[in-house]
Amino acid sequence: MSSVFNANLLAGQHAVITGAGSGINKRIAERFAIQGACISIVGRNAGKCEVAAAEIRALGGTAQGVAADVRDADTLADAFHQASDAFGPIDICIAGAAGNFVAEAATMSTNGFRTVIDIDLIGTFNTFRAALPLLREKRANLLAVSAVQSALPTATQAHVCAAKAGIDMLVRTLSIEWAARGVRCNAIAPGPVADTEGMKRLAPSGEASWRRLLSGIPMRRAAECDEIADLALFLCSGAASYINGTVIAIDGGQSNLGSQQFGDMLLDSLRET
Ligand code: COA
């Protein structure tokens, strides 16, 4: 868990992170804990949240797991109250929970499309709304985990592209509505990230497919979770105190090339299965 930042940038702060039982969001949780924040890990799988929290405690950090599905606004609000009762007002809220699968729009069911909209877009709205009444006055940070698909139309990802584009506009709108409350609201938009559930679902098996995927990225490699965690840390720290309403791509330059290789590779991998 190496970081370019020194410890204690977030001393005494409370960060609530959805979907932090694994992957990028888990690494963000660990990174924020090392920087002195108390962490509430929210996810639909109680056991996974508690294991992730226990791992942070084992590193000397402070963390708790709180179970809730971001699709259920009432349960989520209860979970945020529970988190705040234990660790105090929320300084940082990260909407990281997401769902994805590879499917062509021509055959995807309405429920399949809706499921990703529900988890990603409505889940982000529910998350930020649950946090709002519990936010630390005058200096809170909201961060959404978007994706390159928000700006790059990508074959087999119609549901994800629509959901993530919605997240970007939600963040930009909230950055206007909630700025007077002292809330900053931003998003990060990663491209492929190594060793994550998302990549397991998206990345094809085999060297040739990987090479094809990476040929669409100027830096010719996927991101590391640590690199995503450092961007999240920067945006939620005082170093970014005047950054509000932005969506920052962290994709090795992929957005400058477009997503044709990515989409073609996903289409071919779908047709091969
Ligand atoms: N292709 C086409 N449709 C699919 C699909 C696939 N590979 N996987 C799921 N669906 C459809 C289902 O068929 C269902 O629609 P239907 O009722 O019309 O049949 C709908 O999506 C909901 O599926 P279900 O499995 O009931 O939803 P869930 O709430 O249990 O799971 C998912 C949500 C589908 C997003 C699941 O992939 C998931 O839990 N993902 C979380 C982890 C993840 O994706 N991480 C990576 C983030 S980048």
- Tens-place pLDDT, residues 226-257: 999 999 999 999 999 999 999 999 999 999 99
Is 169 part of any domain? yes
146 classed as catalytic: yes
Give 86 Cα–ligand 1 centroid separation in angstroms. Answer: 33
The C-alpha atoms of residue 191 and residue 252 are separated, in whole angstroms, by 8
Average pLDDT estimate for 52-64: 96
Q: Does 272 have pLDDT greater than 90?
A: no
Is 262 part of any domain? no
Question: Per-residue confidence at 204, pLDDT binned at 50, 70, 90?
Answer: low
Give 43 Cα–ligand 1 centroid separation in angstroms. Answer: 16
Give 123 Cα–ligand 1 centroid separation in angstroms. Answer: 15
Closest protein CA for atom 1 of ligand 1:
103
Pick the residue with more confidence: 205 or 155?
Answer: 155
Pocket test for ligand 1, best of 26, 115, 156, 228 (most atoms within 8 A of CB): 115
Q: Which residue has the tokens 């039982």?
A: 21
Question: Per-residue confidence at 65, pLDDT binned at 50, 70, 90?
Answer: very high
Residue 1 is predicted with a pLDDT of 54
The C-alpha atoms of residue 264 and residue 189 are separated, in whole angstroms, by 21
- Ligand 1 atom nearest to 71, measured from its CA: 29
DSSP codes, 112-168: HHHHHIIIIIIHHHHHHHHHGGGBPTT-EEEEEE--GGGTS--TT-HHHHHHHHHHH
Report which DSSP code applies to 85. H
Percent of the chain at pLDDT exceeding 90:
83
Question: Per-residue confidence at 273, pLDDT binned at 50, 70, 90?
Answer: confident
Average pLDDT, the chain: 94
The helix/strand/coil state of 256 is: helix
Residue 40 is predicted with a pLDDT of 98
Is 212 part of any domain? no
> Domain containing 95 — which CATH number?
3.40.50.720
Closest protein CA for atom 8 of ligand 1:
101
Residue 24 is predicted with a pLDDT of 97
Among the listed residues 179, 167, 187, the one whose alpha carbon sits nearest the alpha carbon of residue 135: 179
Beta bridge partners of 252: none
Q: Where are the alpha helices (DSSP H) in the chain?
A: 23-34, 46-58, 73-87, 110-116, 123-131, 158-177, 197-202, 207-214, 225-236, 254-257, 260-272
146, 150, 259, 269: which is the annotated catalytic residue? 146
Is 51 part of any domain? yes
Question: Per-residue confidence at 198, pLDDT binned at 50, 70, 90?
Answer: confident
Is 109 part of any domain? yes
What is the largest distance, in Å, between two alpha-carbon atoms of the chain?
53
Closest protein CA for atom 27 of ligand 1:
115
Give 100 Cα–ligand 1 centroid separation in angstroms. Answer: 7
Is the distance from CB of 245 to CB of 19 less than 8 angstroms?
A: no
The C-alpha atoms of residue 232 and residue 20 are separated, in whole angstroms, by 13
- pLDDT, one tens digit per residue, over 28-54 is 999 999 999 999 999 999 999 999 999
215 classed as catalytic: no
Percent of the chain at pLDDT exceeding 70:
97
Domain count, the chain: 1
Q: Show the ligand 1 pocket: residues with CB < 6 angstroms.
A: 98-101, 103, 108-109, 111-112, 115-116, 119, 197-198, 201
Average pLDDT estimate for 197-210: 77
The C-alpha atoms of residue 207 and residue 8 are separated, in whole angstroms, by 40
Residue 260 is predicted with a pLDDT of 86
Q: Which domain holds residue 243?
A: 14-202+221-252
Is 91 part of any domain? yes
Is 173 part of any domain? yes
Is 273 part of any domain? no
Q: Does 3 have pLDDT greater than 70?
A: no
